Amino acid sequence: MMPDVTFPLGLPQKHLVPYGDTQQDLTIKTTMEAGRVKIRKRFTEASRFVTAPFILTKAEWDLLKDFYNENCADEWNWIEPEDGVTPVICRFVSMPQPTRITPDLYQVSFEYEILPDADS
């Protein structure tokens, strides 16, 4: 089921390149007293963790702060960063971190999680 919240359209919908994209490990490795390490699957589909860099105006930065403050514990709809089209369900992993680069421009980065498709 898709969440009711969507990433604000007043913010850039694509992040800058390069961006980080890491898949969660699907396996658990257990060291045995003798013999090989036992490896088994934890789950069938993994979350992905994306580090998203942006250049935002002050107004966009204020909008992102408000969105984070209202939805930091919630899931929200956005688009797949690789193709910019496919809908995905996300949630924040870290708070957006700004660096002011001019009086009205901020370099902002935050980490979010792309959740596995609940239907698969």
Provide the whole-model pTM: 0.77
The Cα 94–Cα 72 span in angstroms is 9
User: When comparing pLDDT for 104 and 117, which is higher?
Assistant: 104
- Number of neighbours of residue 23 by Cβ within 10 angstroms: 11
User: When comparing pLDDT for 27 and 75, which is higher?
Assistant: 75
Looking at residue 80, what is its pLDDT?
Answer: 87
Q: Work out the angle at residue 76's Cα, subtended by the Cα atoms of residues 71 and 82, and round it to the nearest 5 degrees.
A: 130
The whole-number average pLDDT for the span 68-91 is 90
Mean per-residue pLDDT of the chain: 86
> For the purposes of burial, counting CB atoms within 10 Å of the CB of 81, is it exposed (0-12), middle (13-18) or buried (19 or more)?
buried
